[in-house]
Homo-oligomer: A and B are copies of this chain.
C-alpha cells in the first residue's frame, strides 16, 4: 500500500511520528504535513498565498517527509497531485491529533478535514485523535488500536467515499474496553471569548470554550469515549438536510 500521512498539529508533533511508526508496518509511507500548528482549520484551503513544499527528511527505509505552509487539506492535495503525481494513493491517514475530535468538533477539525479531502475523491481515509491535548501525550494505546483498525480494514476493505473518524480515550491500554462504531453526538461548542488588554492598551480576545453535549444516546462518540471505548464515526460529505427538503417546497411556489 502507498500511504499518505498528514496532520493538523504540524510536522514536528509527537502524534504524527507515532502514526508514521505504525503505518510503516502496512506499506510505503510519504508524509506531507503543515510546517506548524493548524488546529481547527477545518476544511480550509489556501488560495490567497502561494503554497511552498519542501522535503526536510528521508528515513533509511525510503520514507520521505515534506512540509508546507498550507492547511491539512492543502497537504492532501499537494501529496496526491504533486509529490505522488501519477501514482495511486491507497490510503490517507491523518493525526494522531493531540486532542479529541468528537461531536461537532469534527466540523472544525483539520485532522478530519484532511481525511475528508481524500475520501471525497474516494481514497480511503482515516483521521485519528487521542483525547489528550498534551504535547507529550502517551500515544502507545492509540498505536495498538490503530494497528488493529488498519489490519481489519485491510482484511475487509474500506467503505467508499467515507472518512473514518477515530477517537481514542485518554486511558491506559488495559482500561480500553474495545471499539464502538458511533454516530456524531449532538451538541454545540459554548464559546468564551476571553478579553485581555495588550501592553499598548489595545483589546484582544482568545477564543476558548467547551463542548455542550445535548445527546444522551448510547450509540454516540461521546458515550463511547466516556465509557473507555475507541469510537469510530463514519463521515460523509453531503451536507444536505434531505429530510427538510419537502417542507421547504413552499419556496418554489408562484414563481
Contact = CB atoms under 8 A, between A and B. Distances in A.
Q: Count this chain's copies in the assembly.
A: 2
A131 interface: no
A199 interface: no
Contacts of A106: 239
Given A179-B255, A252-B181, A241 B162 contact: yes
Contacts of A189: 120
Interface residues of A, number: 78
Interface in A129-161: 149, 152, 156, 159
A124 interface: no
Most B CB contacts (10 A, CB to CB) among A44, A182, A239 go to A239
Interface stretch (A11-19, A47-55, A89-97): A47-55
Interface SS of chain A: mixed
Given A46-B207, A47-B207, A52-B204, A235 B245 contact: no
Nearest to A69: B204
Interface in A195-215: 195-196, 198, 202-207
A173 interface: no
Nearest to A198: B50
A247 interface: yes
A113 to B, nearest CB: 7
Interface in A231-245: 232-242, 244-245
A64 interface: no
Interface of A: 37, 39-48, 50-53, 71, 73-74, 77-78, 81-82, 104, 106-108, 113, 116, 120-121, 149, 152, 156, 159, 162, 177-184, 186, 188-189, 191-193, 195-196, 198, 202-207, 232-242, 244-245, 247-252, 255
Given A51-B193, A104-B120, A182-B245, 11 more contacts: A41-B44, A42-B113, A45-B108, A50-B198, A51-B205, A51-B207, A82-B193, A107-B239, A177-B255, A179-B252, A180-B252
